[in-house]
Chain A
Amino acid sequence: MNTSGLNGVMQNATALGEKSRACLNTFKAWVQLDSSNLSPGQQLSVKYFIVAVILFFAQILFGMLAATQFIFPGFLYEILDFSVNRMIHINAMIVWMLYGFIGCVYWFLEDESGTDIVGLKLGNLAFWVLTGAVTVVVLVYLLVQIGPGKDSSLWLINEGREYIEAPRWADIGIVVVMLIFFYNVVATFSKGKWSGIAGVLTLDLVALAGLYVAGMFYMTNITHEQYWWWWVIHLWVEATWEVLVGVIMAWSLMKLLGVRRKIIQTWLYIEVALMFGSGILGLGHHYFWIGTPEYWLTIGGFFSALEPIPLVAMVVHAVYDSGAHAFKNGNHPALAWIIAQAFGNFFGAGVWGFMHTLPQINMFTHGTQWSASHGHLAFFGAYATINIAFFYLAIQHWRGDVWMGGNSQNAWRWKWALGLLNGGVVGMTIALLIAGYEQSFIERAVEGSTWGGYFAAQNHPSFQSAMNWRWFFGLITFAGLILLIWDLLTIGKGETRKAPIIPVEE
């Protein structure tokens, strides 16, 4: 290559850089967000939210690609195979939800501790390191995809373990970033003041990060490997994440409804007791068939039958609160998404979880679209919803605490986004339920789970039409997401009415 060619490339690169900067400026001028409304911690927090939304978009995009391949197996064959699309789909989900949670914590850290964040600069650095690492990981997933059967592949490309595929180098990076985050939380509370919320949050983060480490090791013995793998997945979503959401909810309800701290904290402890009391040993429902001893059938069956109890407790409490507190609040989309969370958690985790959790029936539903049906409704219902609710709280404050009501200009957008997203996911859940029912029947029970039986179930007309319906409702979900992003960028723009301020009783 001659120098003029190189110069040309350089010039192009500079031009591209300038162009994108210009684009960014136009975008900033268009969204009209005033960051002086945000505290320093909140400025860091919204960075996490922005990446979360981008990854949410990636999740749905790759979910659509994977769903298309169920209908047209030749689609992107040997370019972006199902395995790649699915890996990005579920990895993006885990990562965006974690970004959302970290963002939420940074959002209220100053308020809850009553002081400045101790390591704000470090926190910002950690954000950029993590985001850079996530970008590299995704690029490697897309461009390299697979490697030879050696340790180096697990270190550099991917570990090939559902949900926690990230290569080992990224695992270590993630742990370092989490430690920085954890340091920030603990040091800030120590400098300011501790509270019950702070205590639960801190211990929960220790558990959450510790569990991740449990899933970092390679083992030849697949029974041992899956044993630890479920520690991460199950003890995350059915224990530590639920409690983290409890903490975020506790703080939000204190601010949104003005509930007294003492009450909130008592209920947070009650929730921890119920969640951990049922969820930790509920882990047994994943140890039925992976080679582990028979006593797990009983333990898993018994404790997962208890898992819906905390959800029922929330129902009772919500009714009590709605009677005791006037539901006056100036952020209707956030409240609507919190209500969606209550329903989503109850149905996705409680009802859908219990339907296939007893070993007598899990013997047939295990590893079918049944799990996917439950997985979609539970993850969306319990964790996507609460994150979206918080995005609305954040954007309201960013806009200067303007009124965001059902009667606002362009309120149709958040209402439609709410309807399309929830309707789309429920539709997909039902389609997958039908597919899973058929699969457990034909593949598992009648054909005895042979390869022939697997394909007999996949080729069945009811399965195929279920896959078409899933695709259709996926598109609805996708449309809802695009509308949601548009709404988040524009809601409250030009609104002058202020939201009422609800004082917190201490």
Chain B
Amino acid sequence: MIEPVALKDFFITFFSAALIIMAGGSYALLFAWSKVNANFRIKIAAYVAYAVLLVAVILLTRAAQFQGYWLIISAAMVIGYFFAPIGIWHLCVKTHTDPHYPITHKEHQE
């Protein structure tokens, strides 16, 4: 059963939903970047992005009046968006593991 969003919460619903995806994307981006470039500031920025995501999930959960099993979606987003980039990064590293790797492209330039 769902409880439709109240009129006063329309804006916060759209806003927090957009924020979840954008913060999730930013966290993924910054996390990956922090792996390429070992600068602690990037790592901190990644966790800030994740914190924004957490807040956005809470806002959405309240605005969309999630209750009962709908809370699974909130939990899935909180957990999934944290671990997905980490898992995918490991996958990137492992799938690219190869004795001939990394190659340079220097010799292919004009």
Contact = CB atoms under 8 A, between A and B. Distances in A.
Contacts, number: 135
Contacts of B33: 319
B32 A319 contact: yes
B24 A440 contact: no
Interface string B81-100: 10011001101110110101
A319 B88 CA distance: 11
Given A350-B21, A350-B25, A437-B10, A312 B81 contact: yes
A320 interface: yes
B-side interface size class: 35 or more
A180 B95 CA distance: 36
A258 B109 CA distance: 13
Contact of A298 (B7, B14, B69, B100): B69
B105 A351 contact: no
Contacts of A313: 84, 88
B80 A309 contact: yes
Contacts of B65: 360
Interface string B14-58: 100110111011001101110110000000000000000000000
A354 interface: yes
B22 to A, nearest CB: 6
A297 B36 CA distance: 41
Contacts of A267: 95
B64 A360 contact: yes
A237 interface: no
Contacts of A351: 18, 21-22
A363 B9 CA distance: 14
Contacts of B72: 302
B108 A505 contact: no
B88 A302 contact: no
A315 B25 contact: yes
Interface of A: 258, 260, 263, 266-267, 270, 294, 297-298, 301-302, 305-306, 308-309, 311-313, 315-317, 319-320, 323-326, 328, 346, 350-351, 354-356, 358-361, 363-364, 437, 440-441, 445-446, 497, 500-503, 505
B73 interface: yes
Contacts of B70: 298, 301
Given A302-B72, A320-B36, A328-B105, A308 B24 contact: yes
Contact of A505 (B25, B89, B92, B103): B103
Q: A-B pairs with the 4 shortest C-beta distances?
A: A319-B32, A323-B36, A320-B92, A326-B105
A312 B103 contact: no
A266 B88 CA distance: 12
B21 A266 contact: no
B59 interface: no
A351 B20 CA distance: 8
Contacts of B105: 258, 325-326, 328, 502
A266 B94 CA distance: 11
A500 B95 contact: no
Nearest to B66: A360
B40 to A, nearest CB: 18
Contacts of A306: 76, 80
Contact of A316 (B1, B29, B106): B29
A258 B104 CA distance: 10
A317 B22 contact: no
B2 A359 contact: yes
Contacts of A328: 105, 108-109
B72 to A, nearest CB: 7
A406 to B, nearest CB: 15
Interface in B1-15: 1-5, 7, 10, 13-14
A324 B102 contact: yes
